[in-house]
Homo-oligomer: A and B are copies of this chain.
Amino acid sequence: MLANQGSTAKIVRPTTLRESVLERILELIIIGSLKPGQHLVENELADNLGVSRQPVREALQLLSGEGWVDLRPGHGAYVHSPTVEEADQLLAVRTLLEAESARLAARNPDKTDISDLRDICNRGLAACVADDVDAAVAANSELHTAVVNMSGNRVLADLTSQVARRVRWYHTPVARHRGRASWEEHAALIDAIEAGDEDVAADIMRRHTEHTRQSYLESRAQNPVEEPPAPIRRRRPRAVSG
């Protein structure tokens, strides 16, 4: 189901400089060392990372493809900073995608997958009781990932991940952890998947992610971030066919 990481290990990764630069910049963005809206000067990054500008440039291009940074031709790269509106739309789409994942997962539930889910759920609940926020967040993330992978639709999984990334949860930590109620919803979800109740599973997931969305929006309303002037992105519209 999930690309088996085991076999991938066999492949010799020609771990290019560009890739490692990409990872490091990404890390800096995630931990918040590079703030949303910040201008990423190629020379600075190159110097700090001890490489030339070229790998940095290419890493930035790749990051833009994943929605982490925005490219303004002639101006350089800026850390992507989703507006409230965009975050709202992203979360709406996420709800849609994850609900479908839950539906597909329930369509042909797998015994081992289910038991994995239960393990994760138990760990998450334990972490929640122990007030270990980090562990709870990790388990939560793990669980959602497991469900989308169970859908069997890799495209769906990819898009979900992409969409979730672009929300930038880390800037509103409050929303990442809604406590015990969240885990009860998870448990109910697993039950529905195990029972093969497509509609129920989808509905639970939908409401669950909708809760998260509300949490996020409220959290963001309380901690308003100054919205930097929207970078001029030059996207060309492509027709939809069919």
Verify if A181 is at the interface (C-beta below 8 Å from B). Answer: no
Which residues on B sit within 8 Å (CB–CB) of A158? Answer: 235
Contact residues on A (Cβ < 8 Å of other chain), bracket: 35 or more
Contact A241–B93 (Cβ < 8 Å)? no
Which residues on B sit within 8 Å (CB–CB) of A11? Answer: 232
CB closest residue in chain B, given A145: B240
- Identical copies in the complex: 2
Which residues on B sit within 8 Å (CB–CB) of A130? Answer: none
Verify if A242 is at the interface (C-beta below 8 Å from B). Answer: yes
Verify if A108 is at the interface (C-beta below 8 Å from B). Answer: no
Contact A141–B241 (Cβ < 8 Å)? yes
Contact of A242 among B5, B14, B96, B209 (CB under 8 A): B209
Chain A interface residues toward B at CB < 8 A:
1-3, 5, 8, 11, 13-16, 18-19, 23, 54, 57-58, 61-62, 64-66, 73-74, 86, 89-90, 92-94, 96-97, 100, 137-138, 140-142, 144-145, 148, 153-156, 158-161, 163-165, 167, 169, 175-176, 209, 212, 216, 232-242
What are 17 A-B pairs with beta-carbon distances under 8 A?
A1-B233, A3-B234, A3-B237, A11-B232, A14-B73, A61-B65, A89-B153, A92-B153, A93-B97, A94-B242, A141-B241, A145-B237, A159-B163, A161-B238, A164-B242, A167-B242, A169-B242
